[in-house]
A = this chain, B = another copy of it.
Amino acid sequence: MEHISLDASASPAQARRAFRDGQARPTCGIARGYAQANMISLPKEYAFDFLLFAQRNPKPCPILEVLDAGSYEPKIAPGADIRTDIGRYRIWRDGELADTCDDIRDVWDEHDDLVTFLIGCSFTFEFPLMDAGIPVRHIIAGANVPMYDTSIRCADAGRFSSTMVVSMRGIQPSQVAQAARISGRYPGVHGAPVWVGDPAGIGIGDIAHPDYGDAPVLEPGDIPMFWACGVTPQAAVMASRPPFAITHAPGYMFITDVPDRQYMA
């Protein structure tokens, strides 16, 4: 198996092939210029409630594509296979994490009606932040982004309810406005931050210990900026306990063929 170097210069197809061939790492910093996506597959019986949940909560759940029931080839990445092309998956049964794996074809075949949702990811605007001279510290450190459960209530929809999950980046005071402005240009991949400053204000007890991803990298004077995060559907699965779900693992995203500019407002 050829080992592909996964960095900013990888194409989306190269990155997906590397994940299909068994590599697994967080996708921040990979495939400059292309949108990345969160993924959740649910039995069709739950698809309306979840699509409504996403419609009512567009900050954490901006929908990029909804695949037809049973389909695993997204229009936003022709030739890709959603069952193999993500580095790490999570299998959920009755709202409990049942398994982690790098290929879901076996469990996929247990169902004939899974509806897959691809949801925007803030990794998409990290290259534009860096292009503007804003250091993205977890990429520099070669780490996953830190993510946190919060006290922010999402709007309920049918059988789904949840609090919001956020990602955090530490930004210098002189660049906070610029980071808000640049990310705000990309509403389809979470857009502007939902909170800037005191973590306690959104129920985060200890910023040093995130609920998902790696420990934060913060430099002296950094202001923590919090963006709505596409891991929120996983919090909704834990809270609402559908009988079955498959998601990506936080930070291990699906890389699409869509240029990030296409999601600019």
User: Could you list which residues of chain A lie within 8 angstroms of chain B, going by C-beta atoms?
Assistant: 44, 47-48, 51-52, 55-56, 63, 66, 68, 158, 187, 265
Q: Which of B56, B66, B187, B265 contacts A52 (CB 8 A)?
A: B66
Contacts of A66 in B (CB 8 A): 52, 55-56
Contacts of A158 in B (CB 8 A): 68
Closest to A51 in B: B51
A63 to chain B, nearest CB (A): 6
Overall SS of chain A's interface: helix
A116 to chain B, nearest CB (A): 12
Contacts of A63 in B (CB 8 A): 55
Contacts of A56 in B (CB 8 A): 66
Q: Given the complex of chains A and B, what is the CA–CA distance between A187 and B265 in angstroms?
A: 9
Q: Which of B55, B68, B187, B265 contacts A51 (CB 8 A)?
A: B55
Task: Check B51–A52 contact: CB distance below 8 A.
Answer: yes
Q: Given the complex of chains A and B, what is the CA–CA distance between A152 and B182 in angstroms?
A: 33
Q: List 11 A-B contacts (CB under 8 A).
A: A44-B48, A48-B48, A48-B51, A51-B51, A51-B52, A52-B66, A55-B63, A55-B66, A56-B66, A187-B265, A265-B265
Q: Given the complex of chains A and B, what is the CA–CA distance between A63 and B55 in angstroms?
A: 8
Closest to A158 in B: B68
Q: Given the complex of chains A and B, what is the CA–CA distance between A47 and B63 in angstroms?
A: 17
Closest to A56 in B: B66
Q: Given the complex of chains A and B, what is the CA–CA distance between A66 and B66 in angstroms?
A: 18
Q: Which of B48, B187, B265 contacts A47 (CB 8 A)?
A: B48
Known: A48-B48, A55-B55. 4 other contacts (CB 8 A): A47-B48, A51-B55, A55-B63, A68-B158
